[in-house]
Amino acid sequence: MPGIAVIGAQWGDEGKGKVVDALASTADVVVRFSGGANAGHTVVVGDQVFKLHHLPVSTLHDGPTSILGGGMVIDPWTLRDELEGLRARRDPGEIWISSDAHVVLPHHKKNDEGGGFVGTTGRGIGPAYSDKARRLGVRFGDLLDDDALRLVLGRLIAGKPNSTANVGWRSVDDVFATLEEIRAYVRPMVRDTGALVRAALGRGQRVLFEGGQGTMLDLAYGTYPFVTSSHPTVGGILVGAGVSHKALHGVYGVVKAFSSRVGHGPFPTELSGAEAERLRGTGSNQWDEFGTTTGRPRRVGWLDLTQVRYACDINGFDGLVVTKLDVLSGLDEVLVCVDHAGDRPIYERMRGWGALEGLGSRDALPKAVLEYLSLIEEATGVRVAMFSTSPDRDDTYGSVDWGA
């Protein structure tokens, strides 16, 4: 079936937004399958910059249907702001929210304030997924029916009296009142999106599964406990979009030409001082290494091929997409971690390269960049299917195989 997935191969912020943007115009349906407003995709279209949190990048294209899948946790108030902000600039097209997606509620955000020892994005993501696992969550489908909602809210307030009282929710009636307006707003968008996606695939339509976060933030296979609460890896697609493995014709891993992470946790190739500042940028550009969601400066470091190889193993990537090669332009030397001796990275030193503008194809790349891409391919055993050399929509080269 003609489904392809774009997944972060590092700690998120690999440039997935730009890659999905390059592919979305050839897709019929684009589905986000995990996470929520913790994600942040920055997409540059001409002189316009779009920042998306819940919405798939397809909302910036005419044609594809956009889906917020059942594996997501969605803050309906933030979604409304995001959607209305976008509507003021363009028509986002058809958008559906899965009735199985969970609602991020005020007590989730309250309980996520400060980010804790993980350094979360503070968007209530962890508490919302915890309530889901404790069977105390509220799903978008529950918002459709008064009686169903009363039942679920009763359970929530009985199960978490302190937490809900903290945001002024002491009775089902309290919550009902708070939810009234937002329920009316989201109601027309809620449906069984799994059935919609499966039907689209059955008709031979192209479905793009848009990953959020990255492999190393996966709750099960990332750098636990410094992880998010969902599964940004390939496994998350099946449960998060409601499809079988047959939906996936190809899975593509997005690899930034260097590494970054926000929040706490291990990062063996991390740089500090002037070297880090060079990679991070000053924050004056939208694409500098500052969190799209929180504005926090990202921790940055050299590319770690042992880490990327792990991501390839976990996700079974059919191809890689290497982004932000231009950020390394102008360095005399580029280091790549090819192995570790205990905690210490072992680096291969590569020649640097100059400006990468107006290339047109892989063959036009400077020799040093070709060597860099070959090293990635050799270390991972996965081909580089696409690469990107600037934040601009047009500077993405190569293609993916839809199978149809």
Assign 111 to helix, strand or coil.
helix
Q: Is residue 401 annotated as part of the catalytic site, yes or no?
A: no
Binding track over 289-328 against ligand IMP, x by CB under 6 A? ----------------------------------------
| Number of residues counted as binding ligand IMP (CB under 6 A) | 21
What is the DSSP annotation of 258-319? SEEE-SSS--TTB--HHHHHHHH--S-STTSSB-TTT-PBPEEE-EEHHHHHHHHHHHT-SE
What is the DSSP annotation of 8-24? ESSSS-SSHHHHHHHHH
- For the chain, report the end-to-end CA distance as a whole number of angstroms: 8
Residues 371-400 touching ligand IMP, rule: CB under 6 A, are none
Q: Contact between 119 and ligand IMP (CB under 6 A)?
A: yes
Q: Which of 172, 262, 279, 311 binds ligand IMP (CB under 6 A)?
A: 262
Q: Which of 10, 34, 38, 164 binds ligand IMP (CB under 6 A)?
A: 38
Q: Contact between 259 and ligand IMP (CB under 6 A)?
A: no
Q: Which of 10, 59, 121, 307 binds ligand IMP (CB under 6 A)?
A: 121
Bridge partners, residue 384, by sequence = 320
Q: Is residue 340 annotated as part of the catalytic site, yes or no?
A: no
To ligand IMP, the closest distance from the beta carbon of 284 in angstroms equals 21
- How far apart (Å, rounded) are the C-alpha atoms in residues 241 and 237? 6
- How far apart (Å, rounded) are the C-alpha atoms in residues 133 and 231? 14
Task: Respond yes or no on whether the N-terminal peptide bond of residue 127 is cis (omega within 30° of 0).
Answer: no
Residues 1-30 touching ligand IMP, rule: CB under 6 A, are 11-13
Residue 246 exposed, middle or buried by CB count within 10 Å (0-12, 13-18, 19+): exposed
Q: Which stretch binds ligand IMP (CB under 6 A): 117-125, 275-283, 325-333, 340-348?
A: 117-125
Q: Which of 125, 279, 312, 322 binds ligand IMP (CB under 6 A)?
A: 125
Catalytically annotated residues:
13, 41
Which residues sit at the interface with ligand IMP, rule CB under 6 A? 11-13, 38-40, 118-121, 123, 125-126, 212-213, 217, 226, 228-229, 262-263
